[in-house]
Structure 1
Amino acid sequence: MSTIPSDRSGSPRGSGSSSELVAALAACRHAFITLAIASAIINVLYLTGSFYMLEVYDRVIPSRSLPTLVGLSLLAISLYAFQAVLDLLRSRMLVRIGRSLGQDLSIRVYNTISRLSLTTRSGGDGLQPMRDLDQVRGFLSGPGPIAFLDLPWLPFYVGICFIFHFWIGIASLVGVLFLVTLTILTDRFTKEPSREATGHAIKRNSLAEASRRNAEVLHAMGMNSRIASLWGEANVKYLEAQQRTSDISGGFGAISKVARMVLQSAMLGIGAYLVIRQEATGGVIIAASIIGGRALAPIDAAIANWKNFVASRQSWHRLTSLLALIPDFKSQMALSKPSKSFESEAVCVSPPGDRRVIVQDVTFRIEGGSALGIVGPSGGGKSCLARALVGVWNPVRGTVRIDGATLDQWVPEELGKHIGYLPQDVELLAGTIAQNISRFEAALDSEKVLAAAKLASVHELILKLPNGYETDIGENGSSLSAGQRQRIALARALYGDPFLVMLDEPNSNLDPEGDEALTRAILSVRARNGIAIVIAHRPSALAGVDQVMVVAQGRCQAIGPKEEVMAKMMRRPPPVAPPGGLRVVNEAASTSQS
């Protein structure tokens, strides 16, 4: 039996004690083993220069043997060439490991970004998870991991220094311990400034994105300078934190470079002293200096890359927490196309990340071929209920069912084909009108697009545009009017004849002609045994419904046939005028008049 992935509740892919990031890297374990072997060979080949100098000073010069010099030189050149090839392969393997991580997790992180605001009260920069993935991938592809791969070979080089002479080994050991201490201090002192810099960067990017999306409002009401001031404050704090991080990292890096040169000079001095006392040869001086420098090189490189390492580590932790918070898809059996009923059982709704219950204990059932109008005062919870009914928000209690199956039993992509949703705030995506109406299906069905457009009475309007259905509407349909965007969004909701059509304030930007088109669309949904739910303030939007539910203060106040419920609302006592000429308006009566 074939299964289709679902993103409803369930454990993340690669569940267990390890995160998805660890699982993604574990898939590259053979590459890491190859890298470790290559690093071992390269670190042995790093001895080529020191031993070449040792042989030249201790054998070639005293013997004045030209053939020996030529032979040693050819051998050294061959080893250097082999080392260069391995080094190139090692760096390319790291680049490919980074690409593999990005390729394996990019879609997962994208889905997480798109679902984040539906699960939690997300704040700040919504694209930060993608930047975190790029940060981790960039670090893996850079020189940082090479430094860490070379670090385990420090005892090897220090041991060779001890073989040369005890005091040469002590000098190299002292240098290594000093630089290790610098590395620990670098990590300690850069952690907090780096975390602050990331927080200020998120705030700065969030303000910039909000300013871009609300450019018209900022310009029209003269708010640009005030928002720019807020952005400037966040930017200054970000730059200050970045400067502290760079100053600390750069300072310790400079100390490490000086310490490395001091150590090499000290080893030369110690070697010279040992030569004077005839406890070592001249070649040992040069070889020990080169090996001592090589022993410190990985630490020096690690300190130089510590800023990127700290940033990547923070990105790693953020991604791990985020992916654990929003589980990945799980395999689930696909259900058949819905055709019978839709029901809400004691549904209670809270906004993501908020403990306030906005909608409480809403229960109803609609059979195919019916349409339900939901009315009530503003702030009564109608839009929150709509989000729960289409599966955008998960109810805190209660269940929503289509043909008896709860929404979490449906595969999201499959369920989406059977739901048409027109939200209160219409959002269109950058692309053509045909792509937006067809929900960006890869295999666009022109007949379905035309049918949906005609049903929404937007076909003639589209034909008048410069490129018709191939007109690029820009980001969020910026090239269209509010009414045009709403009617195209209505056509998108009707595309493919979905079983459930949820329309939240569908006529807020429509003219009388649009109201008539809306009524025809609702009646067509009912005629094909579908279900329509319409949230409205204007009575004209309810012309095509046969059932009405009144929602006020988050609760269902009344539900039943439209004529019966509306008649009860009209029979309620008129509002009383209090002193001062103000009128206290009954919520349900106000709704019926709107």
Structure 2
Amino acid sequence: MPELSRTSNGRNIDPASALRDCRTAFIGVGIASALVNILYLTGSFFMLEVYDRVLPSRSIPSLVALSLLALLLYAFQGAFELIRGRMLVRIAGALDESLSGRIYRALVKAPLKLRMQGDGLQALRDFDQVRSFLSGAGPTALFDLPWLPFYVAICFLFHPVIGFVAIGGGLVLSLLTYLTNRNTQAPARKASEAGGQRNAFAQASQRNAEVVQAMGMTGRLTRLWESRNAEFRDQNRRTSDIGNGYGALSKVFRMALQSGVLAAGAVLVIEGEASPGIIIAGSILTARALAPVELAIGNWRGFVSARQSWQRLKELLKVLPEAESPLALPSPRESLSVEGLASGPPAAQRLIFADISFTVRAGSALGVIGPSGSGKSSLARALIGVWPAYRGSVRLDGAALDQWDSDALGSHIGYLPQDVELFAGTVAQNISRFAGDATPEAVVAAAKAAQVNDLILRLPSGYDTEIGEGGAALSAGQRQRVALARALYGDPFLVVLDEPNSNLDAEGEQALSEAIMNVRARGGIVVVIAHRPSALASADLVLMMNEGRMQAFGPKEEVLNKVLRPQPVRAPALTIGAEGQEAAQ
């Protein structure tokens, strides 16, 4: 069996290259298909010999010899069929091995770069669709189709009339194939889109199950679900009806054609222009000649879906190319500089904040304050590089974030988002960011830095406790403290904490303050997005934001005195435009 080429981890490989790497295997499938199709002649020639030689001669030994030969040829045909099927499965596996890592990275990167629709998992479903098609019966039909002229030529050797009947049948089935392709493309695409929207709604409902149940929303959401599901069902049914209709029509036509060949052969025998064996042999051969066309029509829906999925994958990976690894930079140790920064949601080209400039030196902690919707969380996302810098830059020791390899940069950054999401696995795996080379000492050190070691040791299995999907086995406060330990793992230089005390009690807030002081003591930088003053206890600098603009920056006491000093008249309410309200948090 030809060896399949593989590319390690799927890095720097595109779908077209992945297919080219499998070209040797595809050639092997083509050779196996050639042998299978030649061996398919066994039945026709066996019947021809039986009717034209065995029956007239009444020779039992000849019949036994022919039967043994046919049995041997059938065994070879079955072996080549098995080899061909296994090769296609391995081609699908090779594509999976080559592209799965690349697709996963694109899947993770897409929400940060593109405007996503549905549940964001369409690329994964597309890849599954392509892999399933390659492993099924569809490709064998495509490899068998080019052999149609070969069978037609054999039919002409039997008799021109049989050959012309086979050509006519082939033309009709080809027309049915074209109509199947044309009429299933649009419904298949709409069914895929409707399915993505339906799945996204279902996942949102699961994430908010407590709210749905507590607030009596189940009935109303069920009606919305039924509406989305009906759209998916209708499009799916339409696609199936079209494919099944043309498939049934082609099957009936092929059966009728086979009977027509029998009738034509009988006429030829009556007229003395052909032998009796031609009747049966021609019928079998014509049916075999048109079988790939019928099989192709039956699998056309899968082919159309796989082709559309492959095209979407190519477009996604084209707009999310793998960047070449830049020159490795030394670990940052001195400063965080923000220069005229303006940013907003990925792919939206809409600014949430602008003209932010400040510099924080190693050993400092910056507290970012301001009313809700002022752009604080948006600034946090831009500082760690997950939101683009439409203007200006964020620099660590003078190097802009885009000058770093993403994995290398991640080792220097710790991030605690507002909405904490942990992964299924152990506490230790989550703290270590699922690093394969994580040492127990580093994990425990991060937990102690977050003042969460004692809490973890009281869990049923300590650091080996399985926390479940999304950290379901932990309370909100426990998840936040474990996520803080994850942010501190590996002693990152820049630690960005977005509302880190939103779910913490007094003990947790004290632990947070100590963690911030420890980062400062070892020469790191902390940026704390805060609503509650207690989060600023360990900060020495404060940045005030309002309506996406920087209002003040400087030492904590100076800025707070300026912001919080009594006003002789009632201060106007801090407001934000609709644009900022929509995406700032």
Question: Which of 275, 278, 286 pairs up with 1:284?
Answer: 278
C-alpha displacement at 1:509, in angstroms?
Answer: 1.9
**Residue 58 in structure 1 maps to residue 56 in structure 2:** no
CA distance in 2, matches of 1:326, 1:483: 36
C-alpha displacement at 1:459, in angstroms?
Answer: 2.1
Give the 3-state SS of the residue equivalent to 1:427 in structure 2: coil
Contact 2:181 2:300 in 1 (8 A): yes
Q: Superposition pairs for residues 126-205 of structure 1, below 5 Å?
A: 126-205=120-199
Q: Residue 542 of structure 1 aligns with which residue?
A: 536
Relative to structure 2, which stretch is displaced further, 483-492 or 23-32?
483-492
Relative to structure 2, which stretch is displaced further, 374-383 or 69-78?
69-78
Question: Which of 415, 420, 424 pairs up with 2:418?
Answer: 424
For each residue in 1:115-168, what CA deviation from the matched residue of structure 2 results, as whole angstroms up to 9, or x when unmatched? 221112212122221121111101100111000000001111111112222221
Contact 1:376 1:587 in 2 (8 A): no
Give the 3-state SS of the residue equivalent to 1:372 in structure 2: strand
For each residue in 1:91-137, what CA deviation from the matched residue of structure 2 results, as whole angstroms up to 9, or x when unmatched? 11111111111222122222222222111221212222112111110
For each residue in 1:275-307, what CA deviation from the matched residue of structure 2 results, as whole angstroms up to 9, or x when unmatched? 121111111121111111111000010011112
RMSD: 1.9
CA distance in 2, matches of 1:116, 1:137: 22
Question: Which of 484, 490, 499 pairs up with 2:478?
Answer: 484
Relative to structure 2, which stretch is displaced further, 328-337 or 23-32?
328-337
Q: Superposition pairs for residues 186-335 of structure 1, below 5 Å?
A: 186-335=180-329
Indicate how the Cα distance of structure 1 residues 574 and 379 shifts in structure 2: closer, same or farther if over 3 A, else same. Answer: farther
For each residue in 1:366-397, what CA deviation from the matched residue of structure 2 results, as whole angstroms up to 9, or x when unmatched? 22112211111111111111101111122122
Q: Residue 439 of structure 1 aligns with which residue?
A: 433
Contact 2:361 2:525 in 1 (8 A): yes
For each residue in 1:380-429, what CA deviation from the matched residue of structure 2 results, as whole angstroms up to 9, or x when unmatched? 11111110111112212222111121212212112111111111111112
Relative to structure 2, which stretch is displaced further, 363-372 or 253-262?
363-372
CA distance in 2, matches of 1:204, 1:526: 47
User: 1:223 is aligned with what amino acid?
Assistant: M
C-alpha displacement at 1:587, in angstroms?
Answer: 7.0
CA distance in 2, matches of 1:194, 1:276: 50
CA distance in 2, matches of 1:569, 1:554: 17
CA distance in 2, matches of 1:175, 1:352: 55
User: 1:205 is aligned with what amino acid?
Assistant: N
CA distance in 2, matches of 1:253, 1:476: 45
CA distance in 1, matches of 2:314, 2:565: 58
C-alpha displacement at 1:469, in angstroms?
Answer: 2.2
CA distance in 2, matches of 1:38, 1:430: 44
User: 2:181 is aligned with what amino acid?
Assistant: D
Q: Residue 530 of structure 1 aligns with which residue?
A: 524
Q: Residue 341 of structure 2 aligns with which residue?
A: 347
Q: Residue 364 of structure 1 aligns with which residue?
A: 358
Contact 1:575 1:586 in 2 (8 A): no
Give the 3-state SS of the residue equivalent to 1:400 in structure 2: strand
What is the count of residue pairs matched by the alignment? 568
Q: Residue 382 of structure 1 aligns with which residue?
A: 376
Contact 1:575 1:584 in 2 (8 A): no
TM-score, reference length from structure 1: 0.92
For each residue in 1:179-198, what CA deviation from the matched residue of structure 2 results, as whole angstroms up to 9, or x when unmatched? 00011111112222222221
Contact 1:373 1:535 in 2 (8 A): yes
CA distance in 2, matches of 1:63, 1:33: 44
Question: Which of 12, 26, 33 pairs up with 2:20?
Answer: 26
Q: Residue 336 of structure 1 aligns with which residue?
A: 330
Relative to structure 2, which stretch is displaced further, 58-67 or 273-282?
58-67
Give the 3-state SS of the residue equivalent to 1:351 in structure 2: coil
**Residue 585 in structure 1 maps to residue 557 in structure 2:** no
C-alpha displacement at 1:329, in angstroms?
Answer: 4.5
Relative to structure 2, which stretch is displaced further, 211-220 or 506-515?
506-515
C-alpha displacement at 1:542, in angstroms?
Answer: 1.3
CA distance in 2, matches of 1:37, 1:466: 59
Q: Residue 12 of structure 2 aligns with which residue?
A: 13
CA distance in 2, matches of 1:237, 1:586: 44
User: 1:38 is aligned with what amino acid?
Assistant: A
User: 1:226 is aligned with what amino acid?
Assistant: R
CA distance in 2, matches of 1:555, 1:171: 79
Relative to structure 2, which stretch is displaced further, 521-530 or 177-186?
521-530
For each residue in 1:500-524, what CA deviation from the matched residue of structure 2 results, as whole angstroms up to 9, or x when unmatched? 1111111222223322222221121
Give the 3-state SS of the residue equivalent to 2:357 in structure 1: strand
Q: Residue 554 of structure 1 aligns with which residue?
A: 548
Give the 3-state SS of the residue equivalent to 1:330 in structure 2: coil
Give the 3-state SS of the residue equivalent to 1:331 in structure 2: coil
CA distance in 1, matches of 2:569, 2:134: 69
Contact 2:394 2:400 in 1 (8 A): yes
Q: Residue 102 of structure 2 aligns with which residue?
A: 108
C-alpha displacement at 1:568, in angstroms?
Answer: 2.2
CA distance in 2, matches of 1:389, 1:35: 52
Relative to structure 2, which stretch is displaced further, 147-156 or 385-394?
385-394
Q: Residue 398 of structure 1 aligns with which residue?
A: 392
For each residue in 1:463-488, what CA deviation from the matched residue of structure 2 results, as whole angstroms up to 9, or x when unmatched? 22222222222222223222222122
Relative to structure 2, which stretch is displaced further, 251-260 or 546-555?
546-555
Q: Residue 46 of structure 1 aligns with which residue?
A: 40
CA distance in 1, matches of 2:569, 2:133: 67
Structure 1: 5+ residue runs without aligned partners?
Answer: 15-19, 577-582, 589-594
Contact 1:426 1:489 in 2 (8 A): yes
Question: Which of 457, 460, 463 pairs up with 1:463?
Answer: 457
Q: Residue 592 of structure 1 aligns with which residue?
A: none
CA distance in 2, matches of 1:431, 1:307: 39
Relative to structure 2, which stretch is displaced further, 460-469 or 48-57?
460-469
CA distance in 1, matches of 2:270, 2:476: 91
C-alpha displacement at 1:454, in angstroms?
Answer: 2.2
Indicate how the Cα distance of structure 1 residues 574 and 383 shifts in structure 2: closer, same or farther if over 3 A, else same. Answer: farther
Relative to structure 2, which stretch is displaced further, 430-439 or 154-163?
430-439
| Greater RCO (CA < 8 Å, at least 6 residues apart) | 1
Percent of residue pairs identical? 57
Relative to structure 2, which stretch is displaced further, 443-452 or 407-416?
443-452
User: 2:191 is aligned with what amino acid?
Assistant: A
Give the 3-state SS of the residue equivalent to 1:501 in structure 2: strand
Structure 2: 5+ residue runs without aligned partners?
Answer: 1-6, 577-585
Contact 1:345 1:362 in 2 (8 A): yes
Relative to structure 2, which stretch is displaced further, 251-260 or 364-373?
364-373
C-alpha displacement at 1:557, in angstroms?
Answer: 1.7
Give the 3-state SS of the residue equivalent to 1:399 in structure 2: strand
Contact 1:132 1:312 in 2 (8 A): yes
Contact 2:546 2:574 in 1 (8 A): no
Indicate how the Cα distance of structure 1 residues 59 and 337 shifts in structure 2: closer, same or farther if over 3 A, else same. Answer: same
Q: Residue 69 of structure 1 aligns with which residue?
A: 63
CA distance in 1, matches of 2:113, 2:147: 46
Relative to structure 2, which stretch is displaced further, 468-477 or 408-417?
468-477
CA distance in 2, matches of 1:23, 1:264: 43
User: 1:232 is aligned with what amino acid?
Assistant: E
C-alpha displacement at 1:572, in angstroms?
Answer: 6.9
Q: Residue 579 of structure 1 aligns with which residue?
A: none
Relative to structure 2, which stretch is displaced further, 84-93 or 430-439?
430-439
Q: Residue 496 of structure 2 aligns with which residue?
A: 502
CA distance in 2, matches of 1:483, 1:402: 31
Relative to structure 2, which stretch is displaced further, 165-174 or 434-443?
434-443
CA distance in 1, matches of 2:164, 2:200: 53
Indicate how the Cα distance of structure 1 residues 451 and 574 shifts in structure 2: closer, same or farther if over 3 A, else same. Answer: farther
